[in-house]
Structure 1
Amino acid sequence: MTTARHATPFPLDVDSFLARAEERGAPLDARAAEAVLGLLVLGGARRRTGLPEPTEELAKQLLHLLLPLYVSATAQELPGFVTALVSLADHTHEAGRLNAKRHAKLVARVHELAEGLGQAMTSHDRLTWPRLYGNLVRAAGVDPNDPRAVRDWLETFAARPYAERNAALGFVASSSPNGPLSEAAYAQALCAERSRQARPLLTARLEAVTTAGAPAGEPDDAREDWYDEQAGALADRWTAAGLDTLLRGPFAHLAPGGGDAPGRPLLALVEAMAVQHMEMYGEVLAPMPPAPLPGSPQEQAALLRAAPLPQLLARAAADPEGVDERTRELALASGFLVRRKPGGAPSTGPSAEAWRDGGPAELTGLALNLFGALLAQLAEEEETAEQFDGENLLTLYFLSERAGAAQSVARLAALNDMWFIPPDHESDPDPTVQATGTYELPDPQALSAVLGLPALTESDRTDLIPGAARLARLMDRLEGLGVTQRSGDALTLTPLGTSLLRDALLLGIGGEAADVFPTRDQVLAWDAERLVAGAQWWSKGAARQSVADWLTAHGTHGWTPFFQALSADRPEEEPARRRALLATLDATAVPDDALHELLPDPVLGGWAEHTLHVRGQVPDTSAVPLSARAVHLVDELEAVRRTASLAHRLTAAPEQEEPALFAALHAAFDKAASTWPGGAPALLAALIGADPYTAAFLAQQLAHHPDRTTADQARRAVRTSGTTRSPGRKKPAKRAAGKRKRR
C-alpha cells in the first residue's frame, strides 16, 4: 500500500500505525516505525491485524540481526526503534491478538533485548557497507533523504587520501603489539562478505511475502530485476537516499566486495588455517612454536613491496591486457582488478590502491588476500593440483610447525605421498641438489639418508619424482609472494610467510597471541608450566630450540621449575608427552646440583639417577623412589618397543605382521625384572601404576610373555586400559594415517 509519507513494496499501513501512536500521546519516529514494521514483515510475522504481530523470537531477530544488517542509525535514534516495537506490541494486544500476560512478557523481553541493541548496531562485527556509509552520512550532518547531498558527500569522501578514508571507516588494527597486523583488513573483508550476502537475503525475503506490483508471468530475469530494484529502494530508505545505486555503481570502489568479492580469499585462508589447527590439536588448541618474524611492521611492508608477485599484479591493474591470462585471473581474484559488470572488461580494483598508498597493516591484509587467492589458483592448476582439499595449506602448516628450520623437499614430498618415514629420524636437506633451476631428487643413497629409509633403489626414487616435482613447483610459485624460499633440496617458510600464516591463525582462532602463535620473546616470558604445556606438542627441533632458549634466559634458577612442570600430575594429559621433552635437552648442560636435587622426585628421580650414572657420578640411590625408577623403565621399555616396531616396518614384507612379542622387548623386560623387587609381575604392576597409558602398549606385547602370571596380568591391563592409539602422537591429521613405502 502507498502512504502519504512512505512507499513499501508490500501492503503495510504505516500511516494508520503512526496516527494511533499520536492518539495515545506517544508519537513515533516515522522512519524507525516503518523500518520496524517492514523488517518484521520480512521476518515472516503474521499480519492478522493488518500490521505485523511481534513475538519474542521475532523481536530478537529484529533487534539483533535485521536492524544491524540493514538500517543506519545514530545512537540518539536507536531508542526510537525500541519504542516503535513496544508500540506495535501494544497495538497487537489492543486488537485482541495478544493477551495481557503474553503482552507483558513480550514487552519485558523487548526491553531486555534492547540492552544489546546499541552494541549490535555499533559493532564492526555487524556492519555492511550500506549501513556504514549511511552512518557516516548522518554523522557528517548530511540530509540522508537528499540524494544529491548524499552523492556530493560520497564524491568528497572518495577524493580524500587513502589513509584518511581508512581512518574514517573505523576499521582499526589490533591494539596489541603482537596481535594480527591484518585485523582491520579482516574486519573490512567480513563487512564486504556480509554486504554480499545481505542483498540476496533481502531480495529472497521480499519474494517470500505478498508484494504490491510484483510482475506475474514475466521471465525470471525480469522478476529478479524487479525484486532487486525493490530491495534497493528499501535499502536506500533504511540507509541514505540513492546510496544503494551509488555503491553498486560509480562508487563501488568505496565498498569492495560485490561480485567476485575481493577479500573473500582472505576469509577463506583464515578459516582454513583455523580448521587445520583444530584438526591437528582438537580441543587442546596448543600454541604453535615461535618462529623468526619480520623485525617490525615497516620491515614486513618492505618485504612485501620487494616481492615480485604483487608488483606484477600492480602492473596488471594498470594494463589488464598486457599480462597473461593466469596473472589476470589472479589479479581479479585478489582485487587488483575488478569487473564492474558480469563479463565486462576488467578495470583497476581496490587492492591496487592499497598497494600504492597503504601502510603496513593495509599491505599485510592485501598480502593475506593474495595469499588465499594464490593458494586457490594453485590448487586448481594441473602442475600444482591438490590431491585433497587443503593439501597445499597443510604443507605450509607443516612448515610453520618447524619454526623456520629448513626442511628437505624430498622428505616433505615423501610425507605428502604417504611414505612411511621414521618419525624420530632427523636429517638436514641434501646439499648435493642443484641450488637453482628445476628440482631433481637426490640419488638413492642420499635419498636414503634424508628419509631414514635404508637401501632405497632407483625405482623408489622414480616413484617419488612426480610428488617432489609438484612440491618444488608449488613452493617456487609461492616464493613470488615472498612466503617460501627454496635452494636446492632446502625449503624454508620465510619470516614473512610465518607472519602471514600467524596472522591468519590469530584471526581464525581468536584469543591472545601468546595462546595461539607466540613470538620468541613471549615464550621467554612464560613460566615453566606454560612452556612445558606448549612445547610438548611441538616438533623435536622446535621444542629443542625453544626449551634451550628459555633455560638460557632463566639461568640456573630455571631448572627446578622446569623439572617440576615436567613431573606435574596432569590427569587429562599423556604424561609421557611431557617427559619426552627430556630428550630435547643437552644433558651435559644440566647442572649437577639440579640433578642431585631431582633424585627424590617421584616421576623424574629415575631419569636423574640414570643421567648421573652416565656422567660417572655416584648418586644417592636411596633417595630415588621406586615409582621414579618405574617411570624411567616405562620410557626405556617403550623406546625399545618403538625401535623394534620401526625396524620391523622398515624390513618386513608388506603383509608380514609384527611379532606377538618383540625379542628385544622380551629381553629388556626380563633384564629389568631380574632385579626388581617381586620379579616380573611386580614390575609390570609398577609400570602400570607409573604410567597406565604408556604401559598399556607394553602390556599388549607382554600379554604373550612366556611367564603365565605376567601374561595374565598384562592381558588384564590391556582390557582395562581402553587404549587404541600409539603414545606420543598428536590428534591424527589428514596426512597422519600414512602407508608403508612400497619395496
Structure 2
Amino acid sequence: MNAAAPLLLDLDSFLARAEERGTPLDARAADAVLGLLALSRARRRTGLPEPTEELAEELLHTLLPLYVSAAADELPGFVAVLIALADHTHEAGRLNAKRRAKLVARVHELAEGFVQAMTSPRRVTWPRLYGNLLRADGVDAADARAVRDWVAAFAARPYADRHTAHGFALHRGDGPLGEAAYVEALCAERSRQARLLLAGRLEAEALAEQVRPRPGESPLIRDAPAGEPDDELEAWYDEQAGILADRWTAAGLDALLRGPYAHLAPGGGVPAPLLTLAGAMAEQHLEMYGDDFAPMPPAPLPATPEEQAARLRAVPLPRLLEQAAVEPEGADERTRELALAAGFLVPAHDGALSAGPSAETWREGGPAELTGLALNVLGALLAQLAEEEETAEDFAGEHLLTLYLLCERSGMTQSVARLAAQEDMWFVPPERENTPDGTVPATGDYELPDLRALSEILGIPGLTEADREGLRSPAARLVCLMDRLAALGVTERTGDALSLTPLGSSLLRDALLLGLGGEAADVFPSWAQMLAWDAERLVTAARYWPKPVARRTLGGWLALQGPGGWTALFGALAAGGPLEEGARRRALLGVLDGMAVPGEALHALLADRVLGGWAEHTLHALGHPPVTSAVPLSARAVYLVDELEAIRLAASLDHRMTAGPDQEEPELFADLHAGFDKAAADWPGGGPALLTALARADPYTSAFLAQQLSQHPDRTTAEQARRAWRTFRTSSTARSPHTTKPAKRAGGKRKRR
C-alpha cells in the first residue's frame, strides 16, 4: 500500500506487528488513521504518528467522518487501530502506562460519538456517500474499473431512485419541506471544505518539513515540490488530496466525481445559496429575539406539499431559468448569472455553459426537491438584488430583513408607502394599523398616495410635497425589489397593497427552521401547530407579535377552544413576571373583541386580583355594569396602571410627531396629569395612596409614571412619586438583567422629514 501513497508511513510494518500479536487490523482503517493523524501534525518520533486525547477526538469526530467510507460493522476497526497505535507508542517509550491507560479510556468514550458521526446523513461528503453506496452493493472499492462501472450505472438510474439512494429525504410532518435539499447542500459544502482542508494540510506539512523539520522525524510527504509557481503547487497538492480521498473511499472515484459524473456531486464551487439564506434567516431571528427560539406568528401556508409544488410550477422565474439551461445563448446576462448561481447552468473547463443539476430537479423533482430548488433560487436572487443598481442594499442583509419583517406580519397586507418610510428610517408610529391606500392604481408604475392619504397611512401629520418627493426613491426601490421577488411567487403587490404569499411564507419558514436546527421545531409554527398550543404558550409568543396579527391568531385559537378557552386565556394573561412581562401580557387584552367574551366569563373574572378591573370596565362598556364590590382594589390598580401608561405613551408619541426638532418633552404631560388626578379623586387616600397601589400592582410600569408624576403640582403627591421612582431605581428589579425576551432591534436611526 505504501508504494501508491503520497504519505511516507511504514504502514506494512505496523500491520505485520499487529498480525504477530494475534490482533490483526483492517489495512484500510489503519491507512486512514495513520495518515490523518500524521497530517494533524502528530509527533512521529517512533516512525508513526503518536496519538493524544486531543488528536483522537479530532480524528474520530471530525476527520474520519470527512474522508472515510465505511459500513457500520467496519467502524470498530478504526477504534482498534487507534488503540493499537497507543500501544505501539507506549512500547516505544513515548507514552507512559498511566497516560496510555487514560488515552485508551478516552478513545472508548469517543467511540459512541464516532459511530453517530459516521452514520449521520448530515455528516457525509459526496465521496464518502458514494463509497458507502457502492460497498453496500458489493462492489470491490479497490477496483477502479468496477467503481467506474458502478458510477456509470448509478448515473443511468431514474432521478427519483438516485435521490432515494442518497438518503437525504428527511421531511417530517410540520418540519421544513426543504430539509432534504438542505442536507444535500451540507454534503456538497462539507465535500468542498474537506478537499480544501486536506490539500491545505498536505501543503502545510510539506512546507514545515522544508523550512523547519522536527528532530528525529523522517519526511512525510513523498516528492513534495518546492519553488514552483503557486498555481502549479496548488494543482499538485489538490491531486495528492484526490489520491488520498480515493484510498479512503473508492479507487478512481475522485476523478469521476470531478469529471464526467460531476453532476452526481453538485455544489463543489461555492456554498449553495440555500445554506447562505438559512444561515442569514436564523441570524436575523436571533438578533431580533435572542436565543430563546421565540415563535413567530403563524402565517397562511400551502395546505399540502403537492399544493406547494403546484404553486412553484406556476411562477415564471424557474421556467425562465429552465429555458436558460436549454439555450444559454438566448438568455440575457441577468438571467444567465442567476441560472449559474442557482445551478440551472454550470460552466465547463472551456468556458461553455451547459445544463446544471437544478434543471433536472425542475423537470423531475417532487415537492421536497422543488422546495429546495426554490430556496436556492431565492438565496441567489437576494444576492443578485443586493448588488444591482436599482435594488442595491444599504447594508448587508437589508433585503432579508425586509422579508423577515413581512414574516412578522403573518402574511397580512401591508402598505408599500409605509414599509418604504420605515426602511428609509422615518419615525412611523408603531401602533398604527397598516392599511394600504386603495386609490393607488393597480397597474402601471407605482405612485405614492397623495399627501392627505400618505399622512393618514404613516400617522405623520403635516407632511409636505417635499416629504412625499423624498419618499419616492425608497418606494421605487422597494417596489422593484418586491416585483422581482414576485417572479418567484414570494410576494404579491397590487398598487399600494403588498404581502407575502403563502408560498413566500412557506419558503422563509423553511429557511428559518433549517438555519436554527432541530431545537427550534415551532419557532415558525403552522396554524395547526399554533392551535395545539396551550394558553400559556400562546400568550408567551403573542405578547411580541404586532397587534393585528395577535388579534387574528388569538381569535382563531379561541374559536377552536370554545367557551373554556377564555378561562385558560385569562389565566395566562394575568400571569406576571419580571420587568415588563406582566404589562406585555395584559396588553393582549386590547386585541380581544370584548363583544365576543362570554358574559359569564367576564363576571367570573371580576374577583381576579389582576384582571378584575379590566372585566369591570368591559362590562360597563357592554352596558352590563357589575356589582362593583366584587372587584379587588388591587385589580383596579392594575387596570389604572395600564390605562395611565397608555396615556403617557400616547402623549409622548404625539409630542414626537408634532414638536419642533429641539423641543423637549414637558416634565409632566398634561393628559397624564389630568388622567391621574381623575383617578386619584376616586381612590381611597387620594394621589399618594394611588401611587403606592400602582407600585404594588406593577413596579416596572408604574415607575415610569412615577418619574413624570414627580413633577406633580401637589407636593405630597410629587414627593410620593419621587420616593417610588428612587425605590425602583435602587431595587433588584431595576438592576437585574432582562430575564424575558430582549427588546427588538430598533433598526437604526429614525428620521422624520
TM-score of the two chains, using structure 2 as the length reference: 0.95
Structure 2 counterparts to residues 692-707 of structure 1, below 5 A: 692-706=699-713, 707=715
Give the distance between the partners of 1:526 and 1:368, measured in 2 at CA. Answer: 29
The answer on whether the counterparts of 1:535 and 1:543 sit within 8 Å (CA) in structure 2 is: yes
Contact in 2 for aligned 1:416/1:735 (Cα 8 Å): no
Alpha carbons of structure 1 residues 735 and 466: separation in structure 2 relative to 1, 3 Å: farther
| Corresponding residue of 2:300 | 292
Q: Check if 1:189 corresponds to 2:156.
A: no
Letter of the structure 2 residue corresponding to residue 158 of structure 1: A
Partner of 2:143 in structure 1? 146
What residue in structure 1 maps to residue 6 of structure 2? 9
| Structure 1 stretch displaced more, 676-685 or 583-592 | 676-685
**Residue in structure 1 matching 2:315, options 286, 302, 307:** 307
Report the 3-state secondary structure (helix = DSSP H, G, I; strand = E; otherwise coil) of the residue aligned with 2:492.
Answer: strand
Deviation at 1:737, TM superposition (A): 4.2
**Match of residue 322 from structure 1:** 330
- Of 190-199 and 674-683, deviating more is 674-683
Residue 405 of structure 1: CA displacement?
1.2
Q: Deviations over 1:215-264 (max 9, x none)?
A: 12211121111111111100000000000111011110000011245xx1
- Which residue of 635, 638, 659 maps to 2:642? 635
Counterparts of residues 215-230 of structure 1 (less than 5 Å): 215-230=225-240
2:655 corresponds to = 648
The secondary structure found in structure 2 opposite 1:486 is strand
Look up the match of 1:99: 96
Q: Is the 8 A contact 2:178 2:510 kept in 1?
A: yes
User: Is the 2:612–2:632 contact (alpha carbons within 8 Å) kept by the matching residues of 1?
Assistant: yes
Name the residue aligned to 1:20.
17
Match of 1:250 in 2: 260
Letter in 1 for 2:244: L
Corresponding residue SS for 2:4: coil
Q: Which amino acid aligns with 1:570?
A: G
Other-structure match for 1:720: 730
Structure 2 Cα separation of the partners of residues 356 and 411 of structure 1: 40
Cα deviation, 1:117-174, whole Å, max 9, x if unaligned, reads 2211110121100100111111111111111111110110000000000000110132
Sort the Cα spacing of 1:511 and 1:86 in 2 relative to 1 into closer, same or farther, 3 A.
closer
Which of 233, 242, 245 is 1:232 aligned to? Answer: 242
Offset, 1:27? 1.5
Q: Secondary structure at the match of 1:21?
A: helix
- Maintained 8 Å contact 1:10/1:209: no
Q: For the residues of structure 2 that align with 1:333 and 1:60, how far apart are their CA atoms?
A: 36
1:130·1:239 contact (CA, 8 Å) conserved in 2? yes
Q: 1:69 aligns with which of 57, 66, 80?
A: 66
Q: Deviations over 1:445-476 (max 9, x none)?
A: 11011111112111110010000000000000
Whether contact under 8 Å (1:696, 1:723) holds in the other structure is: no
CA distance in 1, matches of 2:394, 2:741: 23
Moved more, 701-710 or 166-175: 701-710
Aligned to 1:508: 515
User: For residues 24-35 of structure 1, what are the structure 2 equivalents within 5 Å?
Assistant: 24-35=21-32
Tell me the CA shift for residue 182 of structure 1.
0.5
**Which consecutive residues of structure 1, in runs of 5 or more, have no partner in the other structure?**
none
1:132 to 112, 115, 129: 129
**Would you say the 8 A contact 1:702–1:714 is kept in 2?**
no
The 5 Å alignment of 1:501-540 reads 501-511=508-518, 515-540=522-547
CA offsets per residue over residues 9-46 of structure 1, 9 Å max, x none? Answer: 23211111111112212121111111110010011100
- 1:463 corresponds, among 470, 478, 491, to 470
CA gap of 1:147–1:103, structure 2 versus 1, over 3 A, is same
Q: 1:397-408 maps to which residues of 2 (within 5 A)?
A: 397-408=404-415
Cα distance change, pair 456–723 in 1 and its aligned pair in 2 (3 A): farther
Give the 3 Å change call, closer, same or farther, for CA 358–75 of structure 1 in structure 2. Answer: same
1:415 is matched with 422
Q: Is the 8 A contact 2:513 2:521 kept in 1?
A: no
What is the aligned residue count? 734
* 2: CA distance, partners of 1:138 / 1:711: 79
SS at match of 1:601: coil
User: C-alpha separation between the residues in 2 aligned to 1:95 and 1:295?
Assistant: 67
* CA apart distance, 1:345: 1.7
Is residue 2:35 matched to residue 1:38?
A: yes
Partner of 1:474: 481
Q: Partner of 2:218 in structure 1?
A: none
Identity, in percent, stands at: 70
Residue 492 of structure 2 is matched in structure 1 by: 485
Residue 178 (structure 1) aligns with: 174
1:300-699 alignment to 2 at 5 Å? 300-341=308-349, 344-511=351-518, 515-571=522-578, 574-699=581-706
Distance 1:57 1:427, change over 3 A: closer
Cα distance, 1:80 vs structure 2: 1.2
Deviation at 1:367, TM superposition (A): 0.2
The match for 1:736 is 747
Secondary structure, aligned partner of 1:284 = coil
CA RMSD, Structure 1 to Structure 2 (Å): 1.9
**What is the alpha-carbon distance in structure 2 between the residues aligned to residue 642 and residue 523 of structure 1?**
31
1:83 corresponds to: 80
Q: Is the CA contact (8 Å cut-off) linking 1:703 and 1:714 kept in structure 2? A: no
Q: Deviations over 1:332-364 (max 9, x none)?
A: 0000011133x7222111000000000000000
* Contact 1:279 1:731 (8 Å CA) reproduced: no
Could you tell me which runs of 5 or more consecutive residues in structure 2 were left unpaired when the two chains were aligned: 207-220
Alpha-carbon distance, 1:7 to partner: 3.2
| Stretches of 4+ aligned residues off by more than 6 angstroms | none
Shift of 1:731: 4.1
**Which SS does the other structure have where 1:209 is aligned?**
helix
CA shift in 2, pair 1:323/1:294, >3 Å:
same
Task: Quote how far apart the aligned CAs of 1:702 are.
Answer: 1.7
| Partner Cα separation in structure 2 for residue 573 and residue 134 of structure 1 | 57
CA contact (8 A) 2:175 2:521 kept: no
Q: Which amino acid is the alignment partner of residue 605 of structure 1?
A: G
Name the CA distance, whole Å, in 2 between partners of 1:187 and 1:600.
55
1:716 CA displacement: 1.1
Which amino acid letter does the alignment assign opposite residue 351 of structure 1?
S
| Contact persistence 1:681–1:713 (CA under 8 A) | no
Shift in Å at residue 719 of structure 1? Answer: 2.2
Q: What is the deviation of 1:733?
A: 4.7
Corresponding letter in the other structure for 1:150: V
Q: Which amino acid aligns with 1:325?
A: E
Q: Deviations over 1:551-595 (max 9, x none)?
A: 122221211111011002334761111111111111111121111
Aligned partners of 1:10, 1:374: CA distance in 2, in Å? 44
2: CA distance, partners of 1:514 / 1:216: 52
- 2:56 paired residue number: 59
- Deviations along 1:173-207, one digit per CA (max 9) or x if unpaired, are 322x2111110000000000111111010011111
* Mapped partners of 1:302, 1:367: distance in 2: 12
CA contact (8 A) 2:418 2:434 kept: no
Provide the rounded CA distance (Å) in 1 between the counterparts of 2:190 and 2:32.
19
Partners of 1:741 and 1:308 in 2: CA distance: 39
In the alignment, is the contact (CA less than 8 A) between 2:181 and 2:369 conserved in 1?
A: yes
- Alpha-carbon displacement from aligned partner over 1:591-637 (angstroms, at most 9, x marks no partner): 21111100111110111111112223231222211111111010000
Shift, 1:512, TM fit = 6.8
1:258-297 correspondence to structure 2 within 5 Å = 258-261=268-271, 264-297=272-305
The amino acid across from 2:187 in the alignment is C
Paired with 2:505 and 2:93, the residues of 1 have a C-alpha distance of: 64
